[in-house]
Amino acid sequence: MSFTEAAARERVIGALRAESDTVSDRWVQLQLAQEEMRDIVSESELREEADALLGALLQSLESDIPANRVVATDRPLRQAVIDLSMRRARNGAMPTVTSLAVLSLKEALLEAVQRQTRDTEELFTTAVLINRLLDSAGALSFETYVEGREEIIRRQSRQLLEVSTPVVRLWRQVLAVPLIGTLDTTRTQVVMENLLEAIQEHEALVAIIDITGVPTVDTAVAQHLMQTVNAVRLMGADCVISGIRPSIAQTIAQLGIDLSTILTRTTLADALAAAVKLTDEASAHTAAGVRENR
């Protein structure tokens, strides 16, 4: 490490040691000056973030980690940046606002350094170091924000799918899944997982899949239905598909889709009647087996 880099690093360390509270206050003020930030993070949260990030930054600069690797390798500093970014992602801040929040720390730090020295060369070298450090932090915050928002969107999408595909207990040991809208691969997976868990929980013998609200049935939808039916059968339960309207029946026949191995009914009421009959037969069969064993 060259002398000028070492001197710049020591200068930043000195500024953080001597004016940590001042830098923290200034950074909070700069962020609150952004109109977009005011409704996203409270002032107390900003001060908490500032104390955590500045403390981690000071500790990392006091270590032997090269300046260009500080943000990437120092765990406390990296985590402080990630926590800051994720908090804004959860609160719906724009990614540019999140990056600018980290980058505005440059101004607060440089003001503190200027209060310690007026040497032009030292100020320039220190500014380069600060830029290098906080540009890395800004890039990390942007990357974390994007990944965090994608994860939030995926989780919310799955929650919406689960709400839109409820498993309803209609009768003793009879469950139903009313489907509305398009049945794609992702939704099929959610339907399958929820239905199989409900079959196990309720010890169900029959599952009714009602497709009255499904606008069209093509080859892909039929394959998804077959996957769900096969999974239900592997759990030891029977499956009934209801809501087979004339138009859907005609489409299935034209496509050559074979649903002959699946019990189908026109209405949910008809499917429930068939399901109750199946459970009664299963109960009678079980009772007969018990009598034979006596």
The CATH class that applies to domain 168-292 reads alpha beta
Where does the chain have alpha helices with state H? 3-32, 35-38, 43-61, 70-73, 75-90, 95-114, 120-164, 185-202, 219-234, 246-255, 268-293
What lies within 8 Å, CB to CB, of 144 at 6+ separation is 81, 82, 85, 86, 89
Domain positions in the chain are 5-161, 168-292
| Residue where the block lists tokens 């299963």 | 282
| Residue where the block lists tokens 């093509």 | 218
Percent of the chain whose pLDDT exceeds 90: 28
* pLDDT tens column, 232-287: 999 999 999 998 888 888 888 888 877 788 898 989 899 999 999 988 887 776 65
The CATH class that applies to domain 5-161 reads mainly alpha
Beta strands 174-180; 168-171: pairing state:
antiparallel
pLDDT confidence tier of residue 23, bands split at 50, 70 and 90: very high
pLDDT confidence tier of residue 83, bands split at 50, 70 and 90: confident
* pLDDT tens column, 27-74: 999 888 877 776 777 888 889 989 999 999 999 999 988 887 888 888
pTM (two decimals): 0.52
What lies within 8 Å, CB to CB, of 281 at 6+ separation is none
Give pLDDT, residue 2: 47
Give pLDDT, residue 156: 61
Query: Between 43 and 22, whose confidence is greater?
Result: 22
Give pLDDT, residue 258: 79
Report d(CA 172, CA 149) in Å as an integer: 42
pLDDT confidence tier of residue 176, bands split at 50, 70 and 90: very high
